[in-house]
Amino acid sequence: MNIRKITVQDLDKLCHLFVEVFRQEPWNEEWKIEWVEERLKYILNSQYSESLLAENANEIVGAVLGRGMPFKGNLNFEIVELFVSPTLHNQGIGTKLLTALEQSLAQSNYYRIFLLTASGSPAESFYRKCGYVTNEQLCFMTKSL
């Protein structure tokens, strides 16, 4: 397995993998390729973007995408997307992607990583296993327009 930075040439395959992953349980989401392409391009083109993919035999099997944000003189990093091929879950691919990202961010003097995920989901369990904790001081809020 190879972990490397995402390039523009990877976008088409990443978009199709994203649609496949989020169509499955527990997400059950329907995404159009053009929506995914717009989202991933936005992340990749963001200032302080850091995005990696995992490939096995030249097949993309997972990815992590995010962006840094200055905060009080430090750089925090938001993981916006992390996904792995549904047929390859529980094989350490997500952990390898996350570890590679954390190592890269530590070398670039990032202070903290944050993310949002569904409460009670396998993703929440995964992040907890990797040392992430709920920040009880923050409240996630939304409002439909």
- pLDDT, tens digit (0-9, with 9 covering 90-100), for 75-132: 999 999 999 999 999 999 999 999 999 999 999 999 999 999 999 999 999 999 999 9
Phi/psi for 24 (5° steps) reads -85, 170
In this structure, what CATH number is given to the domain that contains residue 55? 3.40.630.30
**Domain-embedded: residue 108:** yes
**Domain-embedded: residue 145:** no
- Domain hosting 99: range is 2-129
The tally of domains found in the chain comes to 1
Nearest residue to 95 via CA among 68, 59, 132, 69: 132
CA distance 58 to 38: 24
Specify the pTM.
0.93
**Domain-embedded: residue 137:** no
pLDDT the model gives residue 140? 87
**Domain-embedded: residue 139:** no
Strands 74-84 and 2-5: unpaired
